[in-house]
Chain A
């Protein structure tokens, strides 16, 4: 598995306004979000277990649980992804490095 991306650059145009130009330090944001998500997970665990038991027979829960490692794998493989579209003064850039 590749090392996950550490930064994200986002440039998006906006009609009539100044465009969005973001540089996100994922190496800070992701751990903070992970801790918050884990805390929420522990808080909502009893409700989630009840929901899993009720919805298991519909198959969606199984799909969600099995897709979790695939989603994590995809997010980790984002490093190096770059989408850069330029048209005149407008530019869309999504870049993970």
Chain B
């Protein structure tokens, strides 16, 4: 936003715009600052408010067979959120074994102490998830919308 303001002041100094016009433009950029309503921020906000996790598998150009397989899966993020709460119900013995296995792989994650804020953070991070795999036989696309 400082870039826009700088440009406005440069135009004013070069007398390309009047003082009143500069004031109007500065107030508009100031309002954009407050709302945070730029295109890039809107896109980021939409990504962060992802509603569905999509998995799409389509046949690639090298796919063989008369009937190639097509897969289209849409999972609501709210279902992921609800499912994560089952982690608190894992029996202690099983939870310990899972924790040990995760620790061996270098993942320090306490399954029994998952908080709502952790789940929200994970879901917010899902908004940036995009996986594209093209193996020739098939194309796999995992994304959120």
Contact = CB atoms under 8 A, between A and B. Distances in A.
12 contacts: A2-B78, A67-B86, A70-B82, A70-B88, A74-B79, A74-B86, A80-B78, A80-B79, A82-B73, A86-B70, A87-B70, A88-B66
A72 to B, nearest CB: 9
9 tightest A-B contacts by CB? A88-B67, A80-B76, A77-B79, A77-B78, A73-B82, A82-B74, A84-B72, A77-B82, A86-B70
A12 to B, nearest CB: 16
B138 to A, nearest CB: 12
B68 A87 contact: yes
Contacts of B85: 70, 73
A82 B89 contact: no
Binding site secondary structure of chain B: mixed
A2 B71 CA distance: 26
Q: How large is the interface on B (under 10, 10 to 19, 20 to 34, 35 or more residues)?
A: 20 to 34
Given A67-B89, A84-B71, A2 B76 contact: yes
Given A66-B89, A70-B89, A76 B82 contact: yes
Binding site secondary structure of chain A: mixed
Given A73-B82, A74-B83, A79 B76 contact: yes
Given A70-B82, A77-B78, A77-B79, A63 B89 contact: yes
Interface string B99-135: 0000000000000000000000000000000000000
Nearest to B75: A81
A85 interface: yes
A31 interface: no
Interface of A: 1-2, 59, 63, 66-67, 70, 73-74, 76-90
A25 B66 CA distance: 36
B49 interface: no
B70 to A, nearest CB: 4
A85 to B, nearest CB: 5
Interface in B41-55: 51-52
B72 A80 contact: no
